[in-house]
Chains A and B, each alone.
Chain A
Amino acid sequence: MNKWDIFKDLLKNKNAILGMAIVCFIILIAMLGSMIAPYDPFLPFPLDRLQPPSFAHWFGTDSLGRDILTRVIYGSRISLMIGLVSVTISLVPGTILGLLAGYFGKTIDAVIMRIMDVVLAFPAILMAIFIAAILGPSLINTMIAVGIIYIPHYARIVRSSVLQLKEQLFVKSVRHMGGSHFRIIFNHILPNALAPIIVYATLGMGTAVLQAAALGFLGLGAQPPQPEWGAMLSEGRQYLQLAPHVAAFPGLAILFLVLGFNVFGDGVRDVLDPSLRI
């Protein structure tokens, strides 16, 4: 299937269309942020603190009187960046480790996969908290922490694809023709193992956004006054009885973005690798 066929199939898939529409909508909002946001995301207005939703402030205001809609709009940039960077951090080393483990087998495979098993033995959020505590709370460290915890998932997926592919006739032919390991792995095996990687990466964006928001919620992610959705939600927790909207809207924004990535991921999976469907 060439790229154009895949694109045409994606356009025929309802899930892919809906998910793409949601994600594109949020990307558009993130790009136009400064033009469409009604207020400054950082400037406090103490007299307007904890205002409920109104015409002036559609999502209400927070404890410092800042407009929540504005902060949600600016926060979309952070969340999209988290999704993209975290997935890249897991995908690149995970893919390389999976390729090496699957292709070379034996000791290399055993060492790599046992290390991956050890990382997988930790509940993901606990490992993320651990890494974030070591690196210190910040946005960049959140992305690194979330990225590291999913490396074993990519390694496993890629390894299982490589195990099947390396026994295929076309790979054996290149080997008999004297092709180097590097060429076989990166020119012949990797392009044929891309489908499950792309599917997992698309679905992984949503998971990364959720985990990063959880770290922000626990105070280990982006620090104030950055308008990160998880951190905004955490602040809203203190005012739950008085002003539930402070926590409600950032949470809805997370849900909307993650839903978009998941629906799009389902669509990509249906097109690229229907065998993974559940």
Chain B
Amino acid sequence: MNVSLILRRLLQLILIVAGVSVVVFFMLRMIPGDPAQLLLGELASPDELASLRDQLGLNRPLPVQYWIFVKNMLMGDFGNSVRTGTPVIQEIIPRFIATIELSAVGMLIATVFGILAGVLSAVYKNSIIDYTAMLSALVGVSIPVFWLGLMLIYLFAVHFHLLPMMGRMDLALDIKPITGFVLVDSLIHMDFSAFRDGLSHLIMPAFTLSTIPMAIIARITRSSMLEVLNQDYIRTARAKGMEERVVIFRHALGNAFLPIVTVLGINMGLLLGGAVLTETIFSWPGLGRFVVDSLMGRDYNAVQACILIFAVLMAFINLTVDLIYAFLDPRIRVNED
């Protein structure tokens, strides 16, 4: 593995996170509305407001506030939530885990079905399977996820009563958190009714979240497979009498994987963005919904921490994709541009 590539990318990551911290900090303070007023309400006296502003450090000059924020952040202290008074990090961790659980299942659905649809589409090119898969992919990239979510809720929760409407778990069920992931914890406790319940809560939001990435993966897999299927070594493999399944999944898909990996990385970013809307619709207690609520409530500390986490996560995903890319194709070395 190329060490200089990793170091260079890590340096870029630090620069980007520093830039994001500046942008978030100053943009937040441009949002109209006084957090002290929001907390104390319209009836608060000027003295009470001044005292709270002082307590929250809002009276200090902006560069000083930024310096304090950076210094604390480097020590892992993101401050207290203006709305709840508890440390932001305590608020974020369970929500972050909920978002990761949702995104991971969403990505799994998108990858499995996206690749399958793309492979079938390429193998049965210009057939009804190809047309159906590609039309579905086109609808997938054009559909508003918030609308799809609402329609799924109406169909499967309101009309057929097959799945729960919202939330992460039935409130009556209580499992002691170990990892924070409902599915994993219920399996550790061997509580299968909790597992079933967690899964039933996860299906609709995860599917909603997966539609756009699934469509993109299907399209890129198809075009990548079509390119590979025309290569001489595929013809040779077939001529040698290899099973078609082996030719397609081992020889063709294995070599068509490079562009798919890139798209998978880009899609993780899409998933994180999509989580904001999906979590709002399904009342999923994740980071996406939390950041929107915090933004509306002028909870500076919470928003800063959430967005930095999103940015670091995105930068790490990009770094991982670059490394996997270099690993999969040894011809690829550091490409500056």
Chain A residues with CB under 8 Å of chain B are 114-115, 117-119, 121-126, 129-131, 133-134, 136, 160, 163, 206, 210, 213-214, 217-218, 230, 233, 236-237, 240-241, 244, 247-248, 250-251, 254-255, 258-259, 262-263, 266, 277-278
Contacts and interface: CB of A to CB of B under 8 A. Distances in A.
B150 A251 contact: yes
B167 interface: no
Contact of A163 (B19, B274, B280, B337): B337
Given A133-B295, A278-B216, 10 more contacts: A118-B20, A119-B23, A123-B269, A133-B31, A217-B144, A233-B146, A240-B158, A244-B151, A247-B151, A255-B144
A31 B270 CA distance: 34
Counting chain B residues whose Cβ lies within 8 A of the other chain, the interface size class is: 35 or more
A121 B315 contact: yes
Contacts of B68: none
Nearest to A263: B138
Among B273, B291, B314, B315, which residue has the most Cβ atoms of chain A within 10 A? Answer: B273
Interface of B: 12, 15-17, 19-20, 23, 27, 30-32, 138-139, 141-144, 146-148, 150-151, 153-154, 158, 216, 219-220, 223, 269-270, 272-274, 276-277, 280-281, 291-292, 295-296, 307, 310-311, 314-315, 337
A130 B32 CA distance: 12
A233 B30 CA distance: 29
In the complex, the 9 A-B pairs of residues with the closest C-beta atoms, listed nearest first: A123-B273, A251-B147, A118-B19, A258-B142, A259-B142, A121-B311, A244-B154, A125-B273, A134-B30
27 contacts: A117-B16, A117-B19, A119-B23, A121-B19, A121-B310, A121-B314, A122-B311, A123-B310, A123-B314, A125-B276, A126-B291, A129-B292, A130-B295, A133-B295, A213-B144, A213-B146, A214-B277, A217-B146, A218-B292, A233-B146, A241-B154, A247-B151, A251-B147, A251-B148, A255-B139, A262-B141, A262-B142
Nearest to B306: A126
A122 B310 contact: yes
A208 to B, nearest CB: 13
A126 B153 CA distance: 24
A250 B147 CA distance: 9
Nearest to B144: A254
B12 to A, nearest CB: 8
Contact of B150 (A129, A214, A240, A255): A240
Contacts of B151: 244, 247-248, 251
Contacts of B148: 251
Contacts of A230: 144
A129 B310 contact: no
A274 B296 CA distance: 44
Contact of B16 (A121, A248, A278): A121
A213 B337 CA distance: 34
A121 to B, nearest CB: 4
A258 B146 CA distance: 14
